[in-house]
Each structure stands twice: as structure tokens, then as C-alpha cells.
Amino acid sequence: MEGRGGRLSRPAQITGEIQMTVRVTTAAQAAAMDERAIQAGTASYDLMRAAASQAVEVICARMASELRRGVTVFVGVGNNGGDGYVAAANLAAKGIAVRVVACGDPRTADAQRAARELRAGIVVEHSPLGVADAEAPGVVVDALLGTGARGEPRDEVKDAILVVNALRARGARVVSLDVPSGLDATTGLAAGECVRADLTVTFGSVKRGLLRDRDASGAIVAVDIGLGSASDDPTAPALIGAAQALGRVPRIPADANKGTRRRLLIVGGAGGMAGATILAARGALRSGVGMVKVCVESPSIAPVQAAVPAALTTTWPSDEAQLAEQLGWAHCVLLGPGLGLGKASRDLALSVLTKWRGPVVVDADALTAFEGNTQRLGELLAGRPAVITPHAVEAQRLAGVAAADLDAGRFEAADRLADRVKATVLLKGVPTVISNGILTQVVATGTPVLATGGSGDVLGGIVATLLAQTGDPLASASSAAWVHGRAAEIAGAGAVRGVVLDDVVEALRFAWVQPATMPAGVLVDLAAATT
């Protein structure tokens, strides 16, 4: 990364130290974290009290007006129910009217203790259906089933879930503790009835299932419950937040120029497909690249020049000398947006990857060109900073697996594919998973605004810009994915319909700004995917 004297500046310190690593866990990994903390000397009941206390603080901060209409807390028989009993006591201590509905007597020692310590005057009811027709409270707390629950909810718990959802339909705000009841914490699947939460307050880590079903989870807030070092499990992917994403973006110094901000060559744009390169160029320019040159088939030159006047243009090379000249100009190559699937397109992709040995991002049609020949792609990418950015279907084809298998193993698929292609893999989807074959990271920003043609082209331009400036494929891919998703959140402001990619590109200018510091005890704060 060249600047005056040869390099761009490292980022200035932002919001104190980089946040602690927050892990994306399976149910078993989350339970193991709790157990390690207990073995290290933290009493299990102290963890329960901390979880409930933090949840109540989040609820009071976000739903102050709704709390005036009272709270109904639905509790199960396990430790998740214990969290609910403690939360009910804490809410009542704040002068809030609390109603507790229990689906059976508590069965664990901590839950039994929590039930005994309820404040006098809080009546525990034992018929979920008995409150079905009652006036909806302002807030419903779902503490029925925790991360260890499996299978279809039955009997009173099933009835309670139906009542919770009915109260939500009548205007109550629903807060789930740790996971929405009925949602599998690992897979994100629901075998039967499932609570639909407006907010999930989860404890110590972010459970995989929450990120797989954002509609059920609503907004997601992960809170610190005192697990300490027990919460850092290197076998679980790290969730990338604002501090991690923006903390690795190099600072652009005051004396920067277009050369020190790096030069990006985008190769694609077959006839009739100029739009993909236009979006990629816009994404790159909004991400701080110094110069963009777009290499497209001749019919696409005029559309690119008209849409992105800041970009240089050139036609697909007619011989090796012209290709060498174009590649020699670049600090990084983005290969694939709108490249097409014809023989000329495939030949160009092979030539670029053979002749260019510098940083490269391979996307879209350039990936399809290597369908069934992943080994060859790996040979071409090995030994240099490289990122591929497949969506699920492209990844499925490269990996040679069924779509259902890829979806079920999303958190592992990027790691396996990275090993095969000898590059960092940015697997687009919900959530986005990034891996270099050694470290795996997860990005959960974004909304369905990005579920439209051309979104990946914008992302490609962001990734390639950062790769040109840092030379670090994993950091570039995860930071770009976070910023891309954040721009969608800003552009939509909770809406989806009517928001277009031009809005996302415009919002990129705001997505590079570090958000306000989160409240003490809050590890992760993810907005609901839609409102």
C-alpha cells in the first residue's frame, strides 16, 4: 500500500480498543462456555442473575413507553425460565407491573431458586391459555425454551408460544431471552411453533440460529454476563462488528493522491452487461480507491463512460501485449462482473488469472467459468492475495455439493471451499461467512435490500478497493461485507421495498463512519432485518 514514502497510513485508534471477540456458536459451544466459566469459579446462579439483569437493562432502554402498559413474562421449567423469573423480579423492582405465566414447575436448582426469590406480590399463573384473551401488555418476555431445547414444542409450552404470538399481533412487543422459543439455536430451524420476537437478548455469544432466521429473532443484542475468557472459543467463528471492520481500514492521509490510494482494474462487461461493471466501479469509488479502469467489451464502453465519468475505460485486450499493458497499470484486479459465459469470456478469465499474479478478487461469471474445475482455479489463485465472492449457487457448483448440504453447513462451507481454491472465500448470504481456510468470520449486517441483482457487483468493488490498499484478503473481505451491509441498513432505514442499489451506493459514504459506542455490557447490537 503505497503512500508518501510508500504506504497508506494505518487506521487511527477508534472508540478505544477493538472490542472483545464475540463468537457465533452452536448450542453445544454456548453451553461449553457457561461450563468453563462455572469451572473457573463463577457460580451458575450468578450467570443467571447477570443474564437477567442485562436483559432488563436492554428492555428498559428500548421499550420505556411500552413498559408503562406492563409486562407479561412467560417462563418454562428450565434455566431459561429461571432467567425469566429473575427478569420479572428486576422489572418489578423498577416499579413496573409484572405478570408471570409458568408452563410447569421449575426443574433445575437455579430456576427453583429464582422462582423462590420472586418479590412478594407477583402472582405466578399456571395457565398460558388463561391470558390469551386478556388485554395485551406493552411487553411480553419469552423465557420458555433456551439454547438446549430440541424438537417440536409440546403441550403447555406450545400453547404459550401461540399466546405470545397472538399478543404480539395485538400490539405487544416481544422480547426473547437467549433464543426465540421453538427456534433451534444451532440450525435456525423450527420443528413446530416458534416465537416471533421483536428483540432477542442473547447471552455471552451470538447463536447461529439467530443469524439464520432473522425474521424470528428480530433485533439481536448480545450482552456480557461475566463469562470472561471462557467466552473466547477459537473453534467458533468470530462475529465482525463495527470496531473490527472499520479498525482494519487504512487511513487516507492528508497528502494522499490518486496513485497512493491505489489503482483498480475491473474486467467484465460483455455486450449488454455493462451495468455490472458500472455498479462495481461505483462501489469502488465510494470506498476510497484512487483510480478505476473498467475493461469491457466494445459495446459496453459508451454506457460505462456515461454512467461513471470518473472511471477510465478500455476494451478487452486483443493480444497478450495489450493484456500485459492493462494489467501492468493495476494494483488489484476485480474479475467477473458482467463478464458473460461465452468462450471469449472464459478465455479472458483464464488469461487474466494466468498473466496477473497480484491481488485479485474473482466474482460472478469468472467463478462460473471454473465450474467443475475448482482445482485449476486453486492453482491460479495460490500464492497471492486473492478473494472469491460466490453466492450460494456459485459456491455449491464450485464445491460440488447439493444446495441443501451447503445451506445446512453454511458456517463450515466457506472454510472447506477456501482450502480448495487456495484463497479467501466470502460466501454471500444470511449471514455472510468469510474464511481463509484457517480463520472463519461472520458478518451479520445487511437487509433484504441487498437481495437484488447487482448487489454483489457493488460488494466486489468494495472488496477489491480494500484488497488493493491493504493486501490482506481476510480483513478486506470481512470489512467490505460489513460496510456493504451497513450501507443497506442506512439506505433502507428499516424499509426494503422502494430502496434500490443506487441508494446503497450513496449510503456508503456514511457507512465508513464509526457508530456511537455501545452501552456498557452490550457486545453486539444488530438491527432487525426489516421493520
How high is the pLDDT of residue 19? 54
Q: What pLDDT does residue 123 have?
A: 83
Among 207, 240, 273, the domain-final residue is 240
Average pLDDT over residues 197-205: 98
Residue 429 domain flag: yes
2 domain-assigned? no
Quote the pLDDT of residue 8. 63
Q: Name the one residue in this structure whose C-alpha cell is 471477540.
A: 21
Regarding whether 171 and 83 lie in a shared domain, the answer is: yes
Q: Are residues 274 and 381 in the same domain?
A: yes
Q: Is 284 found in the same domain as 186?
A: no
Q: Which of the four pLDDT bands, split at 50, 70 and 90, describes residue 529? A: confident
Banded pLDDT at 58 (limits 50, 70, 90): very high
Q: Whole-number mean pLDDT of the chain?
A: 94
Both 149 and 194 in a single domain? Answer: yes
Judge whether 11 lies within some domain: no
Q: Give residue 6's pLDDT band: very low, low, confident or very high (50, 70, 90).
A: very low
> Which of 186, 178, 188, 214 has the alpha carbon at shortest distance from 81?
178
The pLDDT value given to residue 2: 30
pLDDT at 10 over 50: no
Could you tell me what percent of the chain has a pLDDT over 70?
A: 96
pLDDT at 192: 95
Helices (H), 94-222: 109-116, 155-169, 208-212, 214-217
530 belongs to a structural domain: no
Cell numbers at residue 59, please? 428492555
Query: CA-to-CA distance for 148 and 28, rounded, in angstroms?
Result: 8
Q: Please report whether residue 4 resides in a domain.
A: no
Of the listed ranges 139-148, 231-240, 516-525, the least confidently predicted one is 516-525
Helix (H, G, I), strand (E, B) or coil at 296: strand
320 in the same domain as 215: no
State mean pLDDT over 494-516.
Answer: 94
Query: Would residue 335 count as lying in a domain?
Result: yes
H or E element that contains 64: helix 64-67
Residue 3 banded pLDDT, cuts 50, 70, 90: very low
pLDDT at 121: 76
Grid look-up 480507491 returns: 289
CATH of residue 285's domain is 3.40.1190.20
pLDDT tens-place string over residues 248-259: 999 999 999 999
Task: Answer yes or no: is pLDDT of 5 > 50.
Answer: no
Whole domain around residue 51: which residue ranges? 22-240
The answer to whether 93 touches 120, Cβ cutoff 8 Å, is no
394, 430: one domain: yes
Q: Is residue 38 part of a domain?
A: yes
Rg, C-alpha atoms of the chain: 25
Q: State whether 189 and 330 are in the same domain.
A: no
- Name the phi and psi angles at 388, rounded to 5: -115, 150
Residue 432 lies in a domain: yes
Q: Tell me, what's the pLDDT at 498?
A: 95
Domain identity same for 425 and 337:
yes
pLDDT: which is higher, 515 or 175? 175
Final residue belonging to a domain, choices 194, 209, 240: 240
For residues 279-308, give the mean pLDDT. Answer: 98
Given this model, what pLDDT does residue 27 score?
97
Do residue 295 and residue 217 come from a single domain?
Answer: no
352 burial (CB, 10 Å; 0-12 / 13-18 / 19+) is buried
What is the domain count for the chain? 2
419-425 mean pLDDT: 97
Task: Indicate if 221 and 295 belong to the same structural domain.
Answer: no
> Which contacts qualify for 19-22: CB closer than 8 Å, 24 or more apart?
19/241, 19/243, 19/244, 19/523, 20/231, 20/232, 20/523, 21/232, 21/238, 22/205, 22/206, 22/222, 22/231, 22/238, 22/239, 22/241, 22/523, 22/524
Residues 153 and 39 in one domain: yes
pLDDT of residue 120: 72
67-92: pLDDT as tens digits: 999 999 999 999 999 999 999 999 99
pLDDT tens digits, one per residue of 308-362:
999 999 999 999 999 999 999 999 999 999 999 999 999 999 999 999 999 999 9
Confidence (pLDDT) at 94 = 95
Say whether both 57 and 135 belong to one domain: yes
Q: Is the dihedral of CA 445, 448, 451, 454 positive or negative?
A: negative
- CATH number of the structural domain spanning residue 118: 3.40.50.10260
